[in-house]
Structure 1
Amino acid sequence: MKISIDEKSGFCFGVVNAISKAEILLGEKGKVFSLGDIVHNKVEMSRLENLGLQSVSYNDFTKVMGKTMIIRAHGEPPLTYRMARELCIDIVDATCPVVAKLQKTVKKAWKQMQEADGQVVILGKRGHAEVVGLTGQVDEDAIVVENLEDLRQVDFKKPIYLLSQTTQSLELFDEVKAEIYRRAKNDNITIHDTICRQVSNRNPHLREFSKQFDVVIFVSGHHSSNGKALYEVCRAANENTYKIEDGTELRGEWFENAETVGICGATSTPKWLMEQIATAITTL
């Protein structure tokens, strides 16, 4: 059996940056806090926790008073920084540069729409950390849509400024854009494609990668939105695609008639974990 690991899978730049900052701080301080899981991958989080990283929620802020806390790659709303300052928490900002730029763009879009009596529309997943950070830039005065059906919230008689969560599908963004143009009652429409190409370019790559193998193992944390989306891309290209979080979920029957196996993963999946999975497959 030939096993191949996708060279383009694994951490995106934003995640690499956040984890690198965490590792440096842990080496210096021994114990550091992160607001939420620094990466949506249970196995990688376990590794970092063993080094001294502790994930906390908003309810735990008083426990972090006077200590060091990392803002993960997803970014945070201004309220988080104000709360941290009030509690003398030392913030280390690991917001992905692409997300930080988008936060500024959302604020500019909101000001533009305020002057035109318009609406800011963000294609994204409600409750996702990045989206919470984006809507927080404008005191929640933005419409979040997850699909075409959600466009019912939009007043098509007013100006519209469309943006997107950085990890959204390009295909869905194009569908939403086309539907807005179709239903708009005026021509004051601004479309700003803010999808990160380092992430979106993985779709066509993984589609072709998955076609090359008898079996595909997609490695991702169960709570990773990016992982769920990329898994569906692989699954559509190869029905013998299986999603796992770690090697304990592998099943021998998946490989009974397989001569080739491809291993790939989400932007929150470490390369070392995919290598570990490859070794685990050979021992089944």
Structure 2
Amino acid sequence: MLSLKIDIDNNSGFCFGVVYAIEMAEEILNEQGYLYCLGDIVHNDEEVHRLQERGLRIIDYGFYRSLTNEKVLIRAHGEPPSTYQTALQNNIQLIDASCPVVLKLQNRIKRTYDERKPVYIFGKEGHAEVIGLKGQTNNEAVVFGSYEEMRSHRFPQEITLYSQTTKSTAELYRIRDAIETTGVKVDLKDTICRQVSNRDEELRSFAAAYDIIIFVSGSKSSNGKMLYAVCKEANPQTYFVSAIQDLRREWFTPNQRIGICGATSTPMWLMEAVKTKLAEM
């Protein structure tokens, strides 16, 4: 036995938007035994699998457009206007679990677009949230995912810059400053969720306090990738795992202090399972 001393970060786990979506899904699953969900309800394969075993049916846009007379859950990431139009045409009852922070951002982007101002979004092209955000601009908004991508764009004289809610605050301001050095006027709208951004400093402190950090997250989670990088910077002995099967005994030596933390899309039950596995080593 390695006799590891293991703690879980109490601030890790689902954000309120994900909690709300999953509670809504579970309520309907309890009532009717199944429920369609447009895309993964959360970017965590283990949690998706748990809900699928309870009757959640993950569907894509093609399947969604063929459905009629059904209930469909909209996850916390939000959806573009076309999703609501399809629901009206096909008599689909939408169970709308869009995060209020995302809905507010969608409305702000639509107002800017309606004012005929160029809309730029710092986010991941193709990400579920970004699809909904671009939809507010008839898909005309320009999206870039990093400082390096931004440098390849030719900007007009004035732009309005928004951000996907789960991106890095420091990177957003770095991008704003870089664009302004080219002479472009940037109207920055800091639309990063504070439940996400406030976790940066908390995680830095947590990660620095342990010999090894196990960061638990789905591989598709943008928030997970960003927060993992924060932990890795604070503690180079940080390992990314998506399931207990990813843990390796050779990472550890006896009596080390191990910290477990995760993304806003990581369920607490999964971090508890990681802790149990480590305790058995």
The one of 260, 278, 281 equivalent to 1:281 is 278
Report the CA distance between 1:257 and its aligned residue.
4.2
Matched, 1:41 2:30: no
After superposition, the C-alpha distances for 1:80-115 in whole angstroms (9 at most, x for unaligned) are 111122111111110000000000000111123x1x
**Structure 2 counterpart SS, 1:160:** strand
Report the CA distance between 1:250 and its aligned residue.
0.9
Matched, 1:200 2:197: yes
Report the CA distance between 1:148 and its aligned residue.
2.6
After superposition, the C-alpha distances for 1:226-278 in whole angstroms (9 at most, x for unaligned) are 11111111111111111111111111111224520000001110011111110
Matched, 1:58 2:55: no
**Structure 2 counterpart SS, 1:138:** coil
Paired letter, 2:142: I
After the TM superposition, which residues 158-197 of structure 1 pair with which residues of structure 2 at under 5 Å, given as runs? 158-185=157-184, 187=185, 189-197=186-194
Q: Percent identity, aligned pairs only?
A: 47
**Structure 2 counterpart SS, 1:256:** coil
Distance 1:173 1:154, change over 3 A: same
The one of 76, 81, 91 equivalent to 1:78 is 81
After the TM superposition, which residues 244-255 of structure 1 pair with which residues of structure 2 at under 5 Å, given as runs? 244-255=241-252
After superposition, the C-alpha distances for 1:8-49 in whole angstroms (9 at most, x for unaligned) are 000001101100110111111111010000011111111111
Paired letter, 1:216: I
Checking the alignment, whether the CA contact within 8 Å between 1:143 and 1:153 is kept in structure 2 is: no
Over 6 Å off, 4+ runs: none
Checking the alignment, whether the CA contact within 8 Å between 2:167 and 2:222 is kept in structure 1 is: no
Matched, 1:224 2:247: no
Q: Distance in 1 between matches of 2:255 and 2:213?
A: 10
Q: Distance in 2 between matches of 1:23 and 1:48?
A: 8
Q: Distance in 2 between matches of 1:109 and 1:86?
A: 28
Q: TM-score, normalised by structure 2?
A: 0.95
Distance 1:92 1:181, change over 3 A: same
Checking the alignment, whether the CA contact within 8 Å between 2:65 and 2:86 is kept in structure 1 is: no
Q: Distance in 2 between matches of 1:15 and 1:270?
A: 10
Alignment gaps of 5+ in structure 2: none
Alignment gaps of 5+ in structure 1: none
**Structure 1 counterpart SS, 2:181:** helix
Q: Which residue of 2 aligns with 1:96?
A: 99
Q: Distance in 2 between matches of 1:21 and 1:171?
A: 34
Q: TM-score, normalised by structure 1?
A: 0.94
Distance 1:257 1:236, change over 3 A: farther
Distance 1:183 1:258, change over 3 A: farther
Q: Give the structure, 1 or 2, with the largest relative contact order (CA under 8 Å, sep 6 or more).
A: 2
Aligned alpha-carbon RMSD (Å): 1.3
Deviation larger for 200-209 or 72-81: 200-209
Q: Distance in 1 between matches of 2:60 and 2:49?
A: 17
Equivalenced residues, count: 277
